[in-house]
Every structure is written in C-alpha cells, then in structure tokens.
Amino acid sequence: MNGTQPNKASQSFWQDTVDCWRRLPNKTFFFVLLAAWLALFQFWGNSILGYIHTPSLFSWMSESYNAHSPAADDGHGDFIPFLVVGLLWWKRKELLAQSLDLWWPGMLLLVVAMVLHVMGYVLQQPRISIVALFTGIYALMGLSWGRAWLQKSFFPFFLFVFSIPLGDQAKFITFPLRLLVCQLVELVSHWILGIDVMRIGTQLIDPSGAYQYDVAPACSGIRSLVAIFLLATIYGFMAFRSTWRRIFLMALAFPFAVLGNLLRMLCIIIAAELGGQGAGNYVHESTFISLVPYIPAIFGLLWVGRWMEKRWQPEGKEHV
C-alpha cells in the first residue's frame, strides 16, 4: 500500500506536467527566443575579463555566488532560479487560466532590457547586465503569453532581485547593521543583564580585558536578513493576495532579523562573561547557535501571519 501511493503521486505529477505543457501556447516561439537571449549573455555577457576571465555572465554570477571572501554573502543566488520556477509551477493553474496570446508591447520591455545590457557591458557593470537578463526573460514571457501572464507572475519573478550579487558593495547595508547590533547589545547588557560591556565602533570589549569581539560584516546579520526576507516574501505570496499584506510581512524581515542577531550576540557575550574569550568563541562558532537568528523570525512571521488572517476578513472577500 505504501509503495503504490508514491507511484500514484508521481504519475499524477507527470500527467499534470504533460497537461500543462499541452495547454501552454507559443512554446516554440518562447523557447527559441529564450535560447537566443541566454546565448547572448553566455558569449557576450561580461566585458570585465579580469579576475574572472570569461565573457559569460553566468560564469561571473556563479563565481560571485560561491566566492570565499569574508565579505561575500551571496550564496543564496544559486537556488533563486529554482525557487522562482517552483513558485511559478505552484501558480500554474492560475497562469494557464488567463487569456494567453502574443502581446507585441512586450517588445518594448525587451528593448529596455537590451539597452540595460548594453549599458552594463560598456560600463563593465555585470550587475546591470543581470538586471537586463531577468528583465528580458520577463519580457519574453509577456511577448509570448500576454499582459495578464506578466501581472500574475510578477511577484515570484521579483525574487530574482536576490540573484544580484552585492559582494563588497553590501557594506552600505552591513556596516549600519553592525553598528545597530552593537548598540543594542550594549544597551541590553547594561540595562537588563547587568553586564558591563563597552562599545567602540563595531567592537564589544570587556573593561577588564577578559574578552573582546569585533562584529565583522559576516556577523552583521545580512545572511539572516536575506533569508528571512525571502521567507517573508514567499509566505506573503502564498498566504495573501493583497499587495499591502505581502509588503507588510516583507517589511517585518528587518526587525526580526535584527532581533535574531541581537539574541545571537547576547549569547556570545553571556558565554564570554561566564567562561572568558574561549567560551564566547565556542558559542560564536557553534552551528546550533548560528540558527538562533532564525527562530524568532520564523515564529514571529507565522504568528503575525495568523493574526492577520484572523484579524481581517478572508482573502476571497477583499478587493485586491
């Protein structure tokens, strides 16, 4: 009995896939143009040819996602395409229920994408070309399947913004986060925990010299912020239809990420206060403790989402 259920599920999945494929119009038109568009970025996508000696934008992106630099926190870029495709698949019935036909105004968006890529190529700014890459794919979908498809697929496609690697340019985000978490740790330690911790910039120092920590870019909370923002976006997309509710949940990612990182840093300070620098280092390097920032965020988002569902009228009755 247990063996037949997975078989039925796989058959149903396959039949559903085949049915969706048959119902999708202009497939050849779309995939031929998509192949040509991707080939453009494979052979003429990157003009830097510096530390990554390749004309391929995809190779440049892969290298950026998997760089070992301490300031690099772009590893999530590897799975964003799979996430977007999964969400589009989740919406397949809604998408296929639209009136799907060629929509020539989509050419205007494709021209915009081409202009963006030319700018990125000439200015040697691959990040502009990445925006052009995904804008062009979005335009090809509109060109092949119409305006309604673009409207219904915008929200999952928005997640491609996380495919733009920031690298060292993330400092405009990480440095304020580092300062904020240090200030919060100092305040909570002094006024709630009774721990005398001095803050000098992004350093947290014990006055007696028992321990000191520098909140580095990797400890700023940028990883948890990105992960929590992605989680909030997906949750909002799947649970609600109204744009304002989705935006509200997405906005909560920042305070939840800061709260989670604050708890993690407080665990390090408390451990160091009790056992010295070594104890703090152990907590800092602990895989289990590194998961602390996600616990309040996940439970917080779920609680707020449930509260919103109960507080306001059902989604099906509201104007969206």
Give the tens place of pLDDT for each residue, 157-194.
Answer: 988 998 998 877 667 777 888 888 889 989 999 888 88
Range of the domain at 32: 24-165
Q: How large a percentage of the chain has pLDDT more than 90? A: 30
Q: Which two tokens stand for residue 272?
A: 């160091």
Q: Which of 13-27, 76-90, 146-160, 291-305 has the lowest mean pLDDT?
A: 291-305
**Same domain flag for 179 and 142:** no
How many domains does the structure of the chain reveal?
2
**Same domain flag for 176 and 281:** yes
- 11 within a domain of the structure (yes/no): no
Cα 130 to Cα 42, 75, 135, 164, 226, distances in angstroms: 12, 16, 8, 7, 18
Helices within 194-285 (DSSP H only): 222-239, 243-251, 253-285
**Same domain flag for 202 and 252:** yes
- 5 within a domain of the structure (yes/no): no
- 2 within a domain of the structure (yes/no): no
Of 165, 188, 204, the residue that ends a domain is: 165
Instruction: Give CA torsion, residues 30, 31, 34, 38, to 10 deg.
Output: 180
| pLDDT for residue 103 | 95
Reply yes or no on whether the pLDDT at 132 is more than 50. Answer: yes
| pLDDT for residue 227 | 82
Look up the pTM and report it: 0.81
Reply yes or no on whether the pLDDT at 307 is more than 80. Answer: yes
**Stretch 10-30: mean pLDDT:** 86
What's the rounded Cα separation, in Å, for the pair 95 and 288?
A: 41
| pLDDT for residue 217 | 63
Q: What share of the chain is helix, strand, coil (3-state, %, to 5)?
A: 75, 5, 25
Output the average pLDDT for the chain: 84
**Same domain flag for 182 and 287:** yes
Q: Which helix (H) or strand (E) holds 305?
A: helix 294-311
What's the rounded Cα separation, in Å, for the pair 158 and 137?
A: 12
- 8 within a domain of the structure (yes/no): no
**Same domain flag for 143 and 183:** no
**Same domain flag for 160 and 216:** no
